[in-house]
Amino acid sequence: MIPRPSQLLNPQREPAATRDASTILLLRDCADGQGYEVLMTRRADQGNFANAYVFPGGGLEAQDSAPANHALARVRQGMLDAGGEPRITQALAGIRETFEELGILLAYDETGRPVTHEQVQQLDRKASLYEQCRARGWTLAVDQLWYLAHWTAARDLPKRFNVPFFVARMPEGQTPEADETEQFEPTWIRPQEALQRFAEKSLALVFPTERTLQRMAGFANTQAVLDALQGEKRLWHSCPRTGYLKGQDTRHMETDMAYGELEMVHPDGQAGHHLDWQFEKAVPLRKNLMRLTAPNPGVMTGPGTNSYLIGDASSGYIVIDPGPNEPEHLQRLHAAAGGDIRFIVCTHSHPDHSPGAAPLQALVVQSGHARPPIMGLPSAPTARANSRFKPEVTLQDGERITLTGQGPEGEITHTLQAIFTPGHAANHLCFLLEEDALLFSGDHILNGSTTVISPPDGNMIDYLDSLDRLTELCTEHGVGYILPAHGYVLGFARQQIAKLKNHRLAREAKVHAAMRSKPDGKIQDWVAIAYADTPPALWPVAERSLLAHVERIQKLCLGR
């Protein structure tokens, strides 16, 4: 639910309804013992997915859900427990479609043995599969299918499918023969090879197929795939979203960094939001919210520091994190707000966040507007020399900053609440835009990386406690999106915080193990062990957070 639909950039529209379908990935181990292959076929040059290579499958039909046909299915109990009758319907549809398109049948004959190629050849692929199996006393091998994933087509498409992806071993002795109507050129191919040919533009793939192959490429063989699915739970479920990147439409899954932003800006899936990082102009995220990224990209800043403008022409604007003292960036911030900046707030005192505050304030005054106060928390004595900051107004935890303007339906208010979140810095604040349930996280939560906790101004105990507080805040206010100081908007706010905390605790466990394995070691020794999964070039930065973990471990041990 969107707290204020009136602040969306475009009126919402209802996406096209989905059509249920089913897909089966048939797998076989390679003859040379190196990996495995998946069966793909080329679609016709007209219609859905023209000329793309896909896995066999198609739409569900009424016959797939008929009780009499369900009686033909041999089913694992776990499949029934996990998905019930709908899962059986989906599996039967996949088996039927695979037979009709490729002449491959997952079934048992009247003796309970898998059907042979010769037996399958006796069937009419244009007649009812169910009637033919019933007449012969055959059962359909639903128990050989394992639920891999679920795809729902992007909301901007005119035709949308809702599709479970199953996997199964290729029946021994059978040979695929395309129907030459919907499917052509059956091809056995390693997932890695398919992806390579796609990158070389010699093999056309649609987005769900490409991403499925990427996940499949990580498995050593067919049995490894099936082993991963024994719990009867899919590995992922995705309804991609569309953005505009590098001059073309691009699809993004829920695990991609841009997904949360696309969902927040266009919840109904409308395409057109630009994802290219640029510094020249502000990017609208809501009617009352813009982001302007400073031109300071780097290892520590990602694409650059995000400055946010909250408000509108009738209310004036709050600027969150004016960024470094970069004249062109500050001029652009000033211009985006039409000069009417009412408040300047800083999440913390680091040099890529607060130095632009005073020169931005001067620009506002020079343009004839009232002098906006600079607000935040003063830096602690532990701050580095380049991170000294003293605001004109010290914000208290829970204090609110309010703008009031006029909207289509009358007066409109934008309320920003300060949330004290020490950890990354001793004077760190996050901000909650209450009416829209949006959390501005500064450097406490980033998109694409974990923030550095550098003692003495940084403190890991405070950092983790602040994460807990933000979880409570998100629950209380229904926050779904986090707007970080670096990177795209993050969706699934509470899940992101939980994932971040789990990551920190898992890293701390590695640090503790490193300390135990080398009790007389130095910080550099422990980093090499605890951050072995991180490029060595980043170890000097990782040393800071490792030291914060060491301090926390020592305090916890003393506490026990």
The token pair that represents 219 in the structure block: 């498995």
Task: Tell me what pLDDT residue 407 has.
Answer: 78
Place of tokens 């605890």: 530
Alpha-carbon distance of 322 to 354, in angstroms, equals: 6
Task: Tell me what pLDDT residue 271 has.
Answer: 86
Query: Could you tell me which residues are beta bridge partners of residue 448?
Result: none
CA neighbor of 548 nearest in space, from 442, 443, 423, 445: 423
Task: Tell me what pLDDT residue 47 has.
Answer: 63
* Helix H or strand E encompassing 400: strand 400-407
- Per-residue pLDDT of 349-389, as tens digits, reads 999 999 999 999 999 999 999 999 999 999 999 999 999 99
Averaged pLDDT for residues 12-16? 93
Task: Tell me what pLDDT residue 410 has.
Answer: 86
Task: Tell me what pLDDT residue 548 has.
Answer: 96
- Per-residue pLDDT of 484-527, as tens digits, reads 999 999 999 999 999 999 999 999 999 999 999 999 999 999 99
Percent of all residues in the chain with a pLDDT value above 70, rounded to a whole number: 99
Averaged pLDDT for residues 180-207? 94
Reply yes or no on whether the pLDDT at 2 is more than 70.
Answer: yes
If pLDDT is split at 50, 70 and 90, which confidence band does 560 have? very low
Reply yes or no on whether the pLDDT at 422 is more than 50.
Answer: yes
Averaged pLDDT for residues 187-209? 96
Reply yes or no on whether the pLDDT at 549 is more than 90.
Answer: yes
The pTM score is 0.92
Whole-angstrom CA distances from 512 to 499, 504, 554 are 20, 12, 10
- Per-residue pLDDT of 471-480, as tens digits, reads 999 999 999 9
Alpha-carbon distance of 131 to 99, in angstroms, equals: 14
- Domain range annotation of the chain: 18-239, 277-498, 506-559
If pLDDT is split at 50, 70 and 90, which confidence band does 89 have? very high
Q: Which residues of 146-172 are buried (b: 16+ CB within 10 A; e: fewer)?
A: bbbbbbbbbbbeeebbbbbbbbbbbbe
CA neighbor of 455 nearest in space, from 485, 421, 425: 425
Task: Tell me what pLDDT residue 469 has.
Answer: 98
- Per-residue pLDDT of 311-340, as tens digits, reads 999 999 999 999 999 999 999 999 999 999
pLDDT-wise least confident of 124-133, 304-313, 404-413, 484-493: 404-413
If pLDDT is split at 50, 70 and 90, which confidence band does 133 have? very high
Q: Homologous superfamily of 18-239 in CATH?
A: Nucleoside Triphosphate Pyrophosphohydrolase (3.90.79.10)
Task: Tell me what pLDDT residue 182 has.
Answer: 81
Q: Homologous superfamily of 277-498 in CATH?
A: Ribonuclease Z/Hydroxyacylglutathione hydrolase-like (3.60.15.10)
SS3 43: strand
Averaged pLDDT for residues 155-162? 94
